[in-house]
Structure 1
Amino acid sequence: MLDAIAISDLHLGSDNCQAEALVQFLEAIRFGDVPTRRIILNGDVFDSIDFRRLKKHHWKVLSLIRKMADEVEIVWINGNHDGPSDIVSHLLGVTVVDEFLVVSGGKRVLFLHGHRFDAFLEKHRITTWFADWVYRMLQKIDPTHGFARWAKQSSKLFLRCTAKIEAESISYAETKDCDAVCCGHTHLAVANRNGPIEYFNSGCWTEKPCHYLTVENGFIDLKSYHESPAVVDRPQLAAVSA
């Protein structure tokens, strides 16, 4: 059994949210195909706190999370899109925190969203909004998301921001005497095992392929998830209401 599974940047309410794939993945966890002691939602589960934007499969994701909270430990780390933590906690009955520590195989693994280290986001909100809009348009134009990924990873500004978040997250984890730090926020899946403190980023669920992290006996692994063409018949869940 895994010590933890971490996913981030689901952006429920966004047109690009891969909600159907996420439902399959959560059901695989719930029904024992991917057993784990805890699930860590590492920020930006919502695209915004406007529940009117949620579609059918987005509500199903929330229904699964609420049901699974009675069966497995679920920790929600607040992201910059998630809104007030008391609303999230009340809606789903989960613990909402700013960061979370997992001890696995004698190693201390710190989870945080990472937006606290993104000074550009705070200083240049209009530029950030426009860049995000262009990125989402590219995803709509190309269903494979290949061009959007290329554009993002070719941006020197984006790469500088992600490098800064990685460096500052590692420095912060060092003050907490941790062996590894796991972030979200950048939507860029990363597994950097170089150096005394390992750095990981769980990517996102708005881009294909989707990514997640597993923690088992001190080893952290970055995995990609591809939606299965064969949908297993699972018991139906009642929808969560806001």
Structure 2
Amino acid sequence: MTLEILTADSLADQRHGFFTRKGGASCGIFKGLNCGFGSSDQAHAVTLNRTRVADAIGVDVERLATVHQYHSAEVLTVKGPLGPNRPKADAMVTATPDTALGILTADCAPVLFADAQAGVVGAAHAGWQGALNGVLEATLAAMQALGADPANTTAVIGPCISQAAYEVGPEFMDAFMADDPDNARFFAGGAGDRVQFDLPAYGLHRLRRAGVGEAEWIRHCTYRDADRFYSYRRCVHQKEADYGRLISVIRT
């Protein structure tokens, strides 16, 4: 099956893609393009899936950089192939030619960045913890260190969980209110004491406040569309043993 790759017009000058689960070699609950070695999927299937992604983005698979993500604000500057031992970080930046940066998600927000004039790109894994702790601003700062200008930078949030599907408890909201009382606008009322959090809107707010020239969400919900996307929360609700990881990639 052919890979399905979502793109953003605002990043048209940069080779990139938000890959759906379609077109992969994985089977069972991972059926499709599972690119997560952290899952319990067969390693050879994940390797084949990543090779297909690298081919689609136009680089050797060794030049498709991914990291060990752990919901931090840590940013890695990539200057060449990372090898088999993936460093711990939740974002990457590079100005090295023919280098692709890949972010893995399954409800969290993948964010791709590019300053086409400077030849600098970035990619970030922005779940609620990373976004709250500043991973998006840290990515922009690391891009600046390579010569990028936030005002010339475009940032696009890919498929992630939407507000209608993201119900959380009051203690979750409390963490955001403690950071900034204005964050109340990113929550809507749910059942009982539950509230619904708007992750993509919060990410856009942080990006725009940081001064990016253009920011958008491509408006695809991972939870609602099981045919196209993996979802951690859907996996929990359906009591499945594990879940696949989507990959979003940008290259120089």
Q: Same fold (TM over 0.5)?
A: no
Which has more helix, going by share of residues?
1
TM-score of the aligned structures, taking structure 1 as reference length: 0.30
